[in-house]
Amino acid sequence: MTELTELTAVQLVDGYRKGEFGPVDAVRAALRRAEEIQPAVNAFVRVDADAALARAARSADRWRRGEPAGLLDGVPVSVKDILLLRGGPTLRGSHTVSPEGGWDEDAPSVARLREHGAVFLGKTTTPEFGWKGVTDSPLSGVTRNPYDVSRTAGGSSGGSAAAVALGAGPLALGTDGGGSVRIPAAFCGIFALKPTYGRVPLYPASPFGTLSHVGPMTRDAADAALMMDVISGPDARDWSALGPVGGSFVDALEDGVRGLRVAYSPSLGGQVAVHPDVAAAVRRAVERLAALGAYVVEADPDVRDPVDAFHALWFGGAARVVQRLGPRQRESLDPGLREICREGARLSGLDHLAAVDVRMDLGRRTGRFHESYDVLVTPTLPITAFEAGAEVPKGSGHRRWTGWTPFTYPFNMTQQPAATVPVGTDAAGLPVGLQIVAARHRDDLVLRTAHALYEAGAVGIAPPPGFVTSAGS
């Protein structure tokens, strides 16, 4: 029997429908796994086993009556501790957020999951206010990589990535302002989608403005499509949310990639030095796309590195986050966060508008690029996971996390949908990710391209070494 912690959300729902097992079994197994992995990887800020089992019991009753509440009834899910989950505090990785208060509201994506019967295991770790591409914070410490606990899980949704990779629930919600679902998913060997900005509504609004997206972190593209069918759509609390979806993301998966125009950019036109193991794994997956009938050409988008403009927007947002804090509270912040906040506070309104100009021009150029190509494929990251507890790899010469994430943050600037799929490992056994990007509003193309690779057996990697499955019942 396949252990319940190994099953996808699609498989769990199918098993519930057939009566092969129930939500209480699946949730109990996921909770046991969360407890097992926590000492080694530190994926969770808080686990609420009693509430999860109570929700699972109610779900089991609905399934016995043949009346499931929705598409994810009884499926275990975790939530990054940036997003509101009613019933407990959202501390955002910071000692400066008081746990006191009502905490009686869900974020829009969380509310949609609740409506569909999903079972919340708890909250996952984040760097302070989600500010960087690795996951460590003064509040919760360092989150580690499931494939090598001396390495980082990536960030800022590192806890969510580690939880999914190690079987503590097949689904997680993350946020992505510069790569924050794609970076940890690539480092931890799972799938993640940054949807088109506004496709998944966000409330409260991110201090990083329209750079920040909410997205699914899952075992595969089919689970992400199912999750998108639940969490997409407007919410009155988000004035920038998109209108209703025109169809089902799940239904669109089966269209495949035959005839799809794929641009393969191995290094963004020579701008990025990519590790040979990463480059080789990505190229092999691209060759499989061609074998599946896609028209693949090597072509680079007209993307000149927008890092200075990104920093102006990102550092300014960080400064706004801490603007209300007094001197003593600021002293408790992550030192790197304090540094970028000082830089952000020195920026003027004209600096911000100049960055917006760069962003608008970048969006125009990528929009024109996608008139010729349906999807763009790149490495997700030029490297694999490095030492835990560091913002940048030792000896890299990079000053900030953006130095080693050149493939991710440009597509937050342009608000395009982008996903990462695991395409192999390096010589040390660390996961490698491939990124799929499409034009704004074409999340369906990203998901269907990824799904075709999963269906062909071209992506997906072995579980982490030492992966010990929990009992399924």
For residue range 105-121, list pLDDT tens digits in order. 999 999 999 999 999 99
Q: Say which CATH number the domain at 178 has.
A: 3.90.1300.10
Q: Locate 391 and state its tokens.
A: 């913002």
Single-letter residue type at 152:
T
Q: What was the pLDDT predicted at 392?
A: 98
**Does 132 participate in catalysis according to the annotation?**
no
Query: Which residue type, as a one-letter code, is found at position 421?
Result: V
pLDDT single digits (tens) 54-65: 999 999 999 999
Catalytic (active site) residue 470: no
What does the pLDDT read at residue 465?
83
Mean pLDDT within 444-464: 96
Instruction: Give the per-residue pLDDT at 471.
Output: 34
What is the arithmetic mean of pLDDT over 152-164? 98
* Phi, psi (deg, nearest 5) at residue 111: -60, -40
The CB density around residue 64, as the number of other CB atoms within 10 Å, is 11
Catalytic residue among 59, 80, 140, 470: 80
In a domain, 243, yes or no: yes
At 16 the pLDDT is: 98
437 belongs to a structural domain: yes
d(CA 289, CA 223): 21
137 within some domain: yes
Q: What mean pLDDT do residues 41-67 have?
A: 98
Confidence tier at 164 by pLDDT (50, 70, 90): very high
Evaluate if residue 345 carries a pLDDT over 60.
yes
Beta-sheet strands, E only, within 354-426: 375-379, 418-425
pLDDT at position 268 over 50: yes
Query: Would the pLDDT of 94 be above 70?
Result: yes
Per-residue DSSP letter, 387: B
Helix axes 9-18, 221-231, angle to 10 degrees: 80
- Which of 59, 157, 160, 180 is labelled catalytic? 180
**Predicted confidence (pLDDT) at residue 425 exceeds the cutoff of 80:** yes
Contact 421, 453 (CB under 8 A): yes
Strands 148-152 and 171-176 come out as unpaired
Strand-pair partners of 298: 264
* CA distance readout (Å), 200 to 174, 229, 394: 11, 10, 36
Q: Quick check: is 349 in a domain?
A: yes
In order of 272, 368, 413, the CA distances from 364 in angstroms are 22, 6, 11
- Helix residue spans in 42-138 (DSSP H): 49-65, 108-115
Is 463 inside a domain boundary? no
pLDDT score at 381: 98
pLDDT of res. 470: 38
pLDDT of 467:
57
Amino acid 210: pLDDT: 96
Share of the chain above pLDDT 90, in %: 96
470 inside domain: no
Q: Which domain holds residue 86?
A: 4-455
Model pLDDT for residues 191-219, shown as the tens digit of each residue: 999 999 999 999 999 999 999 999 999 99
Residue 21 within any structural domain of the chain: yes
As a whole number of angstroms, the distance between CA 135 and CA 9 comes to 25
Q: Which of 78, 156, 206, 212 is catalytic?
A: 156
Nearest to 201 by CA among 251, 250, 151, 242: 242
CA distances (Å), origin 259, targets 369, 378, 444: 17, 19, 15
Domain count, the chain: 1
Per-residue pLDDT tens over the stretch 214-245? 999 999 999 999 999 999 989 999 999 999 99
Name the pLDDT band for 101 (thresholds 50, 70, 90).
Answer: confident
Q: Considering the chain, what is the average pLDDT of its residues?
A: 96
Angle ∠(76,421,231) on CA atoms, nearest 5? 40
pLDDT, tens digit (0-9, with 9 covering 90-100), for 320-334: 999 999 999 999 999
Q: Look at residue 42 and give its three-state secondary structure.
A: coil
In the residue annotation, 123 being an active-site residue is answered as no
279-306: average pLDDT? 97
Would you state the pLDDT for residue 473? 31
Q: Spell out a b/e string for 307-346, using b for 16 or more CB atoms within 10 Å of the CB, else e.
A: bebbbbbbbbbbbebbeeeeeeeeeebbebbeebbebbee
Cis peptide preceding 156, ω within 30 of 0: yes
Rg (CA), the chain: 21
> Is residue 464 included in any domain, yes or no?
no
Average pLDDT over residues 74-93: 98
The residue with tokens 């505090």 is 89
